[in-house]
Amino acid sequence: MKEISTIKTTDPKEAARLLIRGGVVAFPTETVYGLGAAIFDEAAIQRVFEAKGRPGDNPLIAHIGDVGQIDLLASELSTSADRLIEAFFPGPLTIVVKKTEAVPAIATAGLATIGIRMPNSELALAFLRACGTPIVAPSANISGRPSPTTWQAVRDDLDGRIDCILQGEPTEIGLESTVVDCSVEPPVLLRRGAISIETLQSVVPEIREAELGDEGPARSPGLKHKHYSPRATVAIGTSLPLGFAGRAAFIGTSMPRDVFAESRIAASVEEYAANLFEFFRECDRRGIDLIVCEAVPETGIGAALMDRIRRAAE
């Protein structure tokens, strides 16, 4: 694709002006950096797919700055959806609902549903409200690579491919949003995130996790294509494979027994999750061959963390 000049700014209004004129803008949320285009601008959405190298059968998530914008996107809301919106918007939750006819097919991979989320980030909300329209926003990285949690990671992947990077602080959570399909009853958890299924069930007890029989067109990003992968091989454990002779790195919450070229010891599972993707990228910059990731209990955000590690290790 033709290289363009990518503007870097800390002003959400400047970034919004570029998006409103048909631009593609990366912006921070509490989860990861997103790559935004106006949801009713099909040409801009096509540029998002091109910039990322994203498959066209991978649906996008709509981001809103005000719950009143949901009416522009959703043709109907179930009682479950209403309860989740009231409890978790703004926050790291995406709900999948039946879309209005106005939402273009390119945004939903031809599906009759759309994922909607309202970020809980002051800078993201300022940007979205300045845009004045819902925007679609997958993660702001080359498809398949680790999601970006800093604006510098966005620059590394997409400089010269997009119009603007709205520069903010490193993201707080570091893993993508929880996704719940509310277009079916009972609602189905499609993607794990910072809001655990136990927390969701405290509001909507009938929510269930997706099962093997739920396959079909991917109703959420992160379910079908390879995701979250550094160039290094990813393994789960605390020690080096027998006979390994390359450069290896370790990330986890406890000290490993072996000596690694690079290591990151987190004080908590939450810190581990927040640092995972940036550690993957740092290992790639340092020429690491193998990244060993410690397993953690699959409760709370630990379930989402292990989901991302397993997908990266595939």
pLDDT of residue 226: 55
pTM > 0.85: yes or no: yes
Domain range annotation of the chain: 7-214, 233-313
What DSSP designation does 67 have? G
Q: What angle do CA 11, 15, 19 make, to 5 degrees?
A: 165
pLDDT of residue 219: 58
Ordered per-residue pLDDT tens for the chain, 314 residues: 778 999 999 999 999 999 999 999 999 999 999 999 999 999 999 999 999 998 888 899 999 999 999 999 999 999 999 999 999 999 999 999 999 999 999 999 999 999 999 999 999 999 999 999 999 999 999 998 999 999 999 999 999 999 999 999 999 999 999 999 999 999 999 999 999 999 999 999 999 998 754 444 455 555 554 567 899 999 999 999 999 999 999 999 999 989 999 999 999 999 999 999 999 999 999 999 999 999 999 999 999 999 999 999 98
Which of the four CATH numbers 3.40.50.10490, 3.40.50.11030, 3.30.70.2860, 3.40.50.300 does domain 233-313 have? 3.40.50.11030
Q: 63 by DSSP, 3-state: which?
A: strand
7-214 is a CATH 2.60.40.1120 domain = no
Q: 8 by DSSP, 3-state: which?
A: strand
Give the integer Cα–Cα distance in Å for 139 and 155. 13
Give the integer Cα–Cα distance in Å for 173 and 183. 27
Matching residue, tokens 């409890």: 87
pLDDT of residue 300: 94
